[in-house]
Amino acid sequence: MHASPPPQASPPCPLCGGQAFHVVLEGARDHVWRKPGRFALARCEGCALVITRPRPTLEGLGFYYDNAYSGQSEEATRHFQLSSRLGRWISRYRLAVLAKVRPLSPADHLLDVGCSYGGLIKAAVEASGCKASGVDLDEGSIRRAYQPSAGPPVAYHHGTLDDLDAPPGGLSVITFMESLEHHPDPMAALRRAASLLAEGGLCFVEVPNFNGLWRRVFGRFWLPLLIPQHLTHFTPQSLAAMMRAAGFEVRHQQTMFYPLEGVASLGLALAQCLRTPPFGAPPSWRTPFDILVFLLLLALYFVFEIPSQALLHLLGLSGHQAAIGALKGSSDEQPRK
Ligand SMILES: [Zn+2]
């Protein structure tokens, strides 16, 4: 255990540059891996964007990412994304949302930012025959990411969108699946995406929905909050505002149906009360009582989570959202003079 948590910073608003904030949630902590450090969520007085503030410095973030996304479960994560029924369903679901604006075709070149093992890329290439590239900070997942058995290979870049060597305007679709909220400067990332897209190119962003009902109920225990890795907490309004500021015309917005929210957040709250070991701890640490609570939550999941998530999704109050923007200045759908 770290004796003292890493240093923190309080940056200005990434959307409007404002310095005036009011705190909307105090005492936010890492409730999943239980690493030390207390943070707050603050709303910008200029544009209403909610960010983690104070938050870890760039160097400090490494401490919170360490062993959080890779490690022992690496092979299981790869299998989930590329081969499991559920993982493949999630990728196809995302492509179906994209198709509400425009389906992919063999002429497209898609770039997935935060691509991990290439689950979305695999689904996109298999469904449409498009060209694809991926960017991720995790070198381990890039090395073992999906490659098609035939056709052009997928180009993966270990790093960020900023240091990706790509010609301006060379891409037609850029996707940020649950990655923009991790970015230290999401505005800069969207502007960079805009510079890489061709005219009319699409930017598809999926992030947690800070307006979700379970967020209001569970507060700091809401699973998609994921403090402190998540640095920006978008509402549908603030996501659309940032995409517009980066040069996109928002063509489609919706919530997403991901039934892993209410009961999982309840589990996080209970784990805190019962002082059960953090996520990733060896199972032998668990007592029979912990196992009983887990089984009760599992039963609750099946009778409650799926119907409640379906209802919240219908009402636009589920915990995840998608927005698709088209790069302004596109030649299609321009009013004729
Ligand atoms: Zn602001």
Q: Which two tokens stand for residue 248?
A: 């996109």
What's the pLDDT score for residue 337? 36
Ligand 1 centroid to Cα of residue 240, in Å, is 13
In this structure, which residues have their CB less than 5 angstroms from ion ligand 1?
13, 15-16, 18, 44, 46-47, 49
What's the pLDDT score for residue 329? 77
142, 158 Cβ separation under 8 angstroms = yes
pLDDT above 90 coverage of the chain, percent: 71
| DSSP run (H or E) holding 176 | strand 171-177
CATH 3.40.50.150 fits 74-255+323-327, yes or no: yes
**CA 159 to CA 115: how far, in whole Å?**
11
Other Cβ atoms closer than 10 A to 36: 14
pLDDT in tens, 39-67: 999 999 999 999 999 999 988 888 888 76
Which position has the higher pLDDT, 78 or 272?
A: 78
Q: How many CA atoms lie within 13 A of 192 on its CB side?
A: 18
Q: Indicate whether 186 pLDDT > 80.
A: yes
Ligand 1 centroid to Cα of residue 9, in Å, is 17
Ligand 1 centroid to Cα of residue 51, in Å, is 9
Q: Where are the domains of the chain?
A: 8-65, 74-255+323-327
**CA 239 to CA 231: how far, in whole Å?**
13
Ligand 1 centroid to Cα of residue 244, in Å, is 14
Report the DSSP beta bridge partners of residue 304. none
Ligand 1 centroid to Cα of residue 186, in Å, is 12
Average pLDDT for 239-251: 98
What's the pLDDT score for residue 1? 46
